[in-house]
């Protein structure tokens, strides 16, 4: 351009091919380098990361193993860094744990062995407790039953078998005599010996004897009461029977001696009195006195006879007899005894009774003893009844002798057949014992029903 006018055009050209080629080559090289760097970098990072996570993974596995109870697991330590240190610590920890669990296992085994011995001892003690005859009961000071053996449950007639762990009030009714004794032992613990307690109702009374001892722990601290008890009902009964037999044996000797010594003079007294009596007419006032002598002599003779009868086996004389006739004779005898007392004697005899094979004298004595008691029971007015019934079906004869007298208290009814049991000042207590003996000799049965203030009924069954 010259002076603002274009004078010519200069064209400049440059060949770009080689430059473009160089640029493309450079680009390719850069890409290759970048790719290689990326690949190597990636691989390095991957290896690096792996070398970091593997020991952690091993550690996690090991921790999980330990958590699952595998204490044998040991981590192989390759690194000397923090993780390697952690792994070493972990191995040390599992080793110590192995040691502890080993000890624990040993202790456990020992405990199991001890428990087995204790269990064996416990069942051994329980067997002893349950195989002995006396009842054993232990109480703690809170009144809880800590031991009660099988015999104890039976003796105490407990319905609740699982008494152990219960309180006294759980097991015994509020006024139960055994419950009261145990409660008093808990309240004031004391040693007691031979405490007698009767349980059961009057019809079936059981006599128990209790002993109590105090239970101390090793440090001499009082922890409870041990009670042992026995049922002595049978033993008492046997003792009583032995005493009775001894008494009877002694009386036997006495009676035989007396019979010899007393009967002869008594016979003489009676004969003389009879002689004297016959000197007077029965209407004569003086007739009465020898008559009294005769009667009393006869009474004495009867007493001796009664003693002899009871203490030595009577000579038996069994014949076919009419029971009504025997009973009628006895009623006459009894009415003689009543004298002027206003007693009525009622008789109701079954006429169809077959003859019975009996000892008439002995039966007469039995009936008389019952009737004399009936008369004694009616000091004033009253009725004595004698009745017979033939029970064809059961092939036996039922005899009832009853009175409207004072009756027998419930607690004495069981005793009236016992020898020497009497409530009378002049009684020997042998009357009904002899009756029972005689009825048994005839294979019969005797029972009594009585109500105080209303009267008494004796029922006798004699088999054909
Ligand atoms: N019918 C009756 N009513 C009331 N009590 C009776 C009756 N029968 C017997 N007893 C009572 O039974 C007791 C014993 O009678 P048991 O005949 O054995 O002897 P006892 O009559 O006392 O003397 P013993 O017969 O030697 O005179 C009597 O003492 C009396 O208490
Ligand atoms: Mg009598």
pLDDT tens track of the chain, all 464 residues?
Answer: 777 888 877 777 777 888 888 889 988 998 999 899 899 988 988 888 887 787 788 888 888 888 888 878 788 877 778 878 888 888 888 888 888 888 999 999 999 999 999 999 988 888 888 888 899 999 999 999 999 998 999 998 887 667 778 899 888 888 899 999 999 999 999 898 999 999 987 667 889 999 999 999 988 899 999 999 999 988 888 887 777 667 766 776 777 777 778 888 899 999 999 999 999 999 998 999 999 999 999 988 887 877 776 666 667 889 999 999 999 999 988 888 776 677 899 999 999 999 999 999 889 989 999 999 999 999 888 999 999 999 998 899 999 999 999 999 999 998 999 877 899 987 878 889 889 888 988 989 999 999 999 999 999 999 98
Strand partners, 221: none
Q: Where are the beta strands (DSSP E) in 280-364?
A: 319-321, 343-348, 356-358
Helix/strand/coil for 198: strand
CB 50 within 8 A of CB 26: no
Query: Which contiguous run of DSSP H or E holds residue 279?
Result: none
The two three-digit tokens of residue 54, written as one number: 């593997």
CA atoms within 13 A of residue 56's CA, in its CB half-sphere: 6
Alpha-carbon separation of residue 89 from 58, 80, 158, 399 (angstroms):
14, 12, 67, 107
Taking alpha carbons only, the member of 312, 396, 393 closest to residue 357 is 396
Atom of ligand 1 nearest to the CA of 432: 18
CB 430 within 8 A of CB 310: yes
What are the tens digits of pLDDT across the range 357-379? 999 988 998 999 999 999 999 98
Mutate to test the pocket of ligand 1, among 368, 422, 434 (most ligand atoms within 8 A of CB): 422
Cβ of 374 closer than 6 Å to ligand 1, yes or no, is: yes
Q: Does ligand 1 come within 6 angstroms of the Cβ of 415?
A: no
Task: Give the C-alpha separation, 452 to 431, whole Å.
Answer: 20
Contact present, 180 and 158 (Cβ < 8 Å): no
C-alpha of residue 279 to centroid of ligand 2, in Å: 35
Distances 236 to 194, 416, 418 between C-alpha atoms, Å:
13, 18, 14
The residue with tokens 């493309």 is: 24
Ligand located closest to 371 CA = 1
397 phi, psi to nearest 5 deg = -110, 135
- Is residue 377 lining ligand 1, measured as CB closer than 6 Å? yes
Structural domains of the chain ordered from first start? 28-127 (1.10.8.500), 132-231 (3.30.450.20), 232-312 (1.10.287), 316-463 (3.30.565.10)
Nearest residue (by CA) to ligand 1, atom 19, is 429
Secondary structure letter of residue 322 according to DSSP: -
Give the separation between CA 74 and CA 95, rounded to whole angstroms: 9
Give the 3-state secondary structure of residue 253: helix
């Amino acid at each position: 351009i010259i002076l603002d006018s274009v004078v010519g055009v200069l064209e400049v050209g440059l060949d770009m091919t080689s430059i473009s080629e160089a640029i493309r080559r450079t680009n390719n090289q850069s890409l290759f380098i970048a790719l290689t760097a990326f690949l190597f970098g990636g691989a390095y990072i991957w290896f690096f990361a792996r070398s970091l996570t593997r020991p952690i993974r091993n550690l996690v596995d090991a921790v999980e193993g330990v958590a699952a109870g595998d204490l044998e697991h040991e981590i192989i330590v390759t690194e000397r860094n923090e993780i390697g240190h952690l792994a070493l610590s972990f191995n040390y920890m599992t080793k110590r744990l192995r040691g502890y669990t080993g000890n624990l296992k040993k202790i456990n085994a020992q405990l199991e062995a001890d428990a087995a011995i204790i269990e064996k001892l416990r069942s051994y003690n329980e067997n002893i407790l349950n195989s002995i005859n006396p009842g054993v009961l232990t109480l703690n000071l809170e009144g809880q039953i800590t031991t009660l053996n099988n015999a104890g449950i039976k003796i105490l007639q407990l319905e609740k078998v699982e008494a152990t762990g219960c309180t006294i009030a759980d097991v015994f009714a509020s006024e139960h005599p055994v419950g009261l004794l145990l409660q008093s032992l808990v309240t004031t613990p004391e040693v007691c010996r031979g405490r007698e307690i009767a349980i059961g109702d009057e019809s079936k009374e059981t006599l128990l004897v209790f002993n109590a001892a105090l239970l101390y722990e090793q440090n001499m601290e009082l922890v409870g009461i041990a009670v042992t008890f026995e049922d002595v009902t049978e033993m008492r009964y046997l003792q009583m029977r032995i005493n009775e037999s001894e008494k009877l044996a002694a009386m036997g000797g006495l009676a035989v001696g007396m019979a010899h010594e007393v009967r002869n003079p008594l016979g003489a007294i009676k004969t003389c009195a009879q002689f004297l009596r016959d000197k007077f007419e029965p209407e004569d006032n003086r007739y009465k006195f020898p008559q009294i002598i005769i009667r009393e002599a006869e009474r004495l003779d009867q007493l001796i006879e009664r003693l002899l009868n009871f203490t030595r086996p009577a000579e038996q004389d069994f014949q076919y007899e009419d029971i009504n006739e025997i009973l009628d004779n006895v009623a006459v005898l009894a009415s003689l005894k009543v004298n002027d007392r206003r007693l009525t004697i009622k008789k109701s005899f079954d006429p169809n009774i077959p003859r019975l094979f009996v000892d008439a004298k002995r039966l007469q004595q039995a009936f008389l003893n019952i009737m004399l008691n009936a008369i004694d029971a009616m000091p004033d007015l009253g009725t004595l009844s004698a009745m017979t019934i033939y029970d064809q079906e059961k092939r036996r004869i039922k005899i009832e002798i009853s009175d409207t007298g004072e009756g027998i208290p419930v607690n004495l009814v069981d005793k009236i057949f016992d020898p020497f049991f009497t409530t009378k000042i002049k009684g020997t207590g042998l009357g009904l014992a002899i009756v029972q003996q005689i009825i048994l000799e005839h294979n019969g049965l005797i029972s009594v029903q009585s109500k105080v203030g209303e009267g008494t009924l004796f029922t006798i069954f004699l088999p054909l």
